[in-house]
Each structure stands twice: as structure tokens, then as C-alpha cells.
Structure 1
């Protein structure tokens, strides 16, 4: 017979494991800690976009193959595309739109539209398997580079 304490310990362990592996938090703190590297975040999104592009390329290579290994790899590439597209959406919404795009900026509306365009491009890249969606995502992120230049410390 399993004790209640053991059950609680196992459930707590399961909960913590689930929280740890369920996905990384890409947002930096939402308090004014002052430790930011916007350029690194844009660079990270560019890497995610390149991963989306590679995923789409690999999916195209596997299209039409029906053997079990090819089907397995197709699922993995689709999941990879989804994950990296979602990383970009989270980075824009959880970090840039909450901490970097401010209503008091002179070009607020323009910035808001450009950041929103990245979210929409990432959403479309998740929903579609065409290379044009990966290219559009990549281009939408490049537009943001002018707002977040590399800082030499």
C-alpha cells in the first residue's frame, strides 16, 4: 500500500518535472531590473526563424514518403517548426510589447505595427508549410533590427 505522503511527493515531483519541461520562459523579468540585451533577443528570434526555414525545407524533402522513419521525422520537423514559431511569438508579446514598445514613443504606432507583423508572420509560419512564410517571418524580424542595435559594453 502506498502512503499518502509518498503520493504527495510523487505528485509534487511530477508537477515540477512538467513545469520544467513544458517550455522555456523566453521573457525577461517584468520588473524594472535593468538587465536587458535587446539585440541578443532579436538575434535569438533570427535563429528561431532560420530553424523554421530549415524545418520547412526538411518537411518538403520528406513529403510523399510513407515509410515509418520518414513519417516520424516529418512529425518531428513539424513540431520543431511549431516550437520555434511560438518562441518568436512569445518573445515579441512577453518581452518587446510589454517592455520595449511604449505609448510615449514618437513612433509608437509604427513600432507596434512592425512588432505585430512579426507575430502574424510567425503564426502563418506555424499554420503553413510554404517557404514563403518562413521568408516573410525572417524579413519581419529583420525590420526590427534598427530598433535594437548591438550595444558594445
Structure 2
């Protein structure tokens, strides 16, 4: 009986835990950085569309209350997912601090990437708080900058083979 109660409590706690949309941190070794950047670009487009819908529906909030709530929730969820990708995927797992005695160039590269990630995180927070499209434009530009700073030249060349950068507006893959 005691084991059954502990099992039920454990299951309830697991079910009540918030869902985190991040990678596993085991480390499993399964990473697809380019796909993650693409997913983040999609989050930006979704945040942008949500902001526009919120503005449009706010003209008559009484009539559009249900849809307003849905679009606000959608915007917040995608901004949160974006933030989690920045922190739990890139900052926690992919961007390792330079080793002691690392070259000045390595330190500069790390600082640039870390600064871009922090700016992305800040602007995602601002996008959650408002419907100001300025933050969407900033997210898009910063993601493009981070993509260039993060990937080596060979990776950038491979990405450019399909005609665009992931930070571009209207970026959609047709497979």
C-alpha cells in the first residue's frame, strides 16, 4: 500500500511539473543547431503574427475577447519557447565557456556569442510584455547575427546553398 501511494504521488508530481521545451541535458549527443535556429526563426514569425492579431482584435475587445486571449497566450508561449532555446539549448549545452588560458580570439568569439544570446533573451522578454513589433525586428536581426557568429564558415556555406538565412523575414522551407 505504501509503495502504491508513493507511486501515485510521484506520478502526480510529474504530471504537475511544468513542461520545459528544451533539450535533454543528459548529454545525449543529439543536436541539430541549424534546425534549432530554424525553429527559433519560426517562433519569431509566430510572435509577430500574434502581435498583429492582438492589435487588430483589440479594436473591439468585447467582441473578440476569446480570440484575444488565445493570441496573447500563443505569443507568450512562443516567446517562452524561444527563451528556453536560448538558455537551455544554446547557453547551457552548446556554448561552453573558454578553457583557462584560451586565446584572445576564442575569448572574443565567446563573448560575442554570449552577448548576442543575452540580447536575444532580453528582446524575447520584451516581446512577451508588449505588442511592439520593434522587438520582433530586433529578434530577427539578432538571430541572424548569432547564426553568423555561431556557425563556422563551412556551416554557413552549406546553409547559404538553400538561398537564405534563417533570420530572414518570411523564411519558410519547402520540403
Task: Specify the TM-score bucket, using the shorter chain as the normaliser.
Answer: 0.7 to 0.9
Is the alpha carbon distance of 1:132 and 1:10 closer, same or farther for their aligned partners in structure 2, counting shifts above 3 Å?
same
Structure 1 position 119, deviation (Å): 0.2
Report the structure, 1 or 2, having the larger helix content.
1
Q: Of residues 76, 86, 90 in structure 2, which corresponds to 1:92?
A: 86
Structure 1 position 31, deviation (Å): 3.2
Q: Of residues 37, 54, 63 in structure 1, which corresponds to 2:58?
A: 63
Is the alpha carbon distance of 1:12 and 1:109 closer, same or farther for their aligned partners in structure 2, counting shifts above 3 Å?
closer
Structure 1 position 134, deviation (Å): 1.7
User: Looking at both structures, which has the greater relative contact order when contacts are Cα pairs under 8 Å and sequence separation is at least 6?
Assistant: 1
Quote the residue 2:25 is aligned against.
30
Structure 1 position 32, deviation (Å): 3.6
Whether the 8 Å contact between 1:55 and 1:80 is mirrored in structure 2 is yes
Instruction: Give the number of equivalent residue pairs.
Output: 145
**TM, length-normalised to structure 2:** 0.71
CA RMSD between the two structures: 2.6
**TM, length-normalised to structure 1:** 0.80
